[in-house]
């Protein structure tokens, strides 16, 4: 009888111990934004997933878990409570009127304009968008459009052709007849040129930027973790050199 009671107590202690150390799940919304976020089909990858792994390994209170989203519907799904955190994001990208907080900036970057290289075409081509067909990704927020991502507004105001990715935008410019100017991230464009060096001489890249990225984590206000905990976690990852190591492969030259 003593052995049975002892085993029962041991089992209960193990059970309560498991419950006590169970991590609180935090759902992280991830929409396709390479090379930062790869979210196509059933695949989730890119720097965001690597960063989530670092965040999970750095502490034992929360389990950050990625959820695949579409850029065009991510804000609506946030309002429905489908997730509570977003990465490689900015308050300018549709969050201004929502109950969220933004972390400290942990990575900077930006977007540039591209056009098909033609004889006589130079940087002045990017000074005026009138009578030009713009190309961009559906759901993305661009500075030249005052961060308004509404498809109807973009089509009516800028005759904008919307694609599903930065790659799609580049291919439309290379086609020669499906768009005049596209907006793409510097990080993705550098990656594209590395993989397709033969296309570098076919693409004119603007010196000026559409916008500079100040990447932050966007977090639903009033939940745990709060933004202070997120900032502390980012600080620890930065101080140990883990973030620098993660981002070293996307550091870009000043000029593409």
Do the two domains 22-108+213-250 and 109-212 of this chain adopt the same fold?
yes
Q: Is 84 left (phi over 0), alpha (psi -120 to 50) or beta?
A: alpha
Cα dihedral 30, 31, 34, 36 sign: negative
- Architecture of the domain defined by 22-108+213-250: 3-Layer(aba) Sandwich (3.40)
Query: Averaged over 133-139, what is the pLDDT?
Result: 96
CATH for the 109-212 domain, from 3.20.20.140, 3.40.50.2300, 3.40.190.10, 3.10.50.40: 3.40.190.10
The pLDDT of residue 17 is: 45
Phi, psi angles (nearest 5°) of residue 3? -65, -40
Domain edges within the chain: 22-108+213-250, 109-212
Query: Averaged over 229-233, what is the pLDDT?
Result: 98
The pLDDT of residue 79 is: 97
Cα dihedral 156, 157, 163, 168 sign: positive
Query: Averaged over 5-10, what is the pLDDT?
Result: 51
Phi, psi angles (nearest 5°) of residue 20? -65, -30
Cα dihedral 97, 27, 108, 132 sign: negative
- Pick 13 or 205 by higher pLDDT: 205
């Amino acid at each position: 009888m003593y052995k049975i009671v002892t085993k029962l107590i041991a089992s209960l202690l193990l059970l309560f111990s498991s419950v006590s150390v169970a991590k609180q799940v935090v759902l992280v919304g991830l929409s396709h934004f390479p090379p930062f976020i790869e979210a196509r089909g059933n695949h989730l990858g890119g720097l965001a997933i690597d960063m989530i792994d670092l965040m999970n390994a750095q502490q034992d209170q929360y389990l950050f878990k990625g959820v695949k989203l579409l850029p065009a519907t991510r804000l609506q799904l946030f309002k429905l409570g489908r997730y509570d955190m977003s990465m490689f994001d900015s308050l300018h990208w549709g969050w201004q009127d929502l109950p969220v907080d933004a972390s400290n900036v942990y990575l900077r970057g930006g977007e540039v304009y591209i056009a098909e290289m033609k004889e006589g075409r130079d940087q002045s081509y990017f000074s005026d968008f009138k009578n030009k067909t713009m190309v961009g990704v559906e759901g993305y927020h661009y500075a030249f459009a005052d961060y308004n991502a509404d498809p109807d507004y973009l089509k009516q105001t800028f005759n904008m052709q919307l694609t599903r990715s930065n790659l799609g935008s580049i291919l439309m410019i290379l086609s020669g007849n499906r768009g005049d100017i596209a907006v793409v991230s510097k990080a993705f464009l550098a990656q594209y040129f590395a993989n397709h060096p033969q296309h570098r001489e076919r693409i004119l890249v603007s010196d000026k930027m559409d916008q500079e990225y100040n990447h932050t984590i966007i977090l639903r206000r009033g939940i745990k973790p709060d933004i202070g905990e997120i900032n502390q976690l980012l600080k620890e990852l930065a101080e140990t050199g883990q973030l620098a190591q993660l981002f070293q492969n996307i550091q870009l030259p000043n000029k593409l």
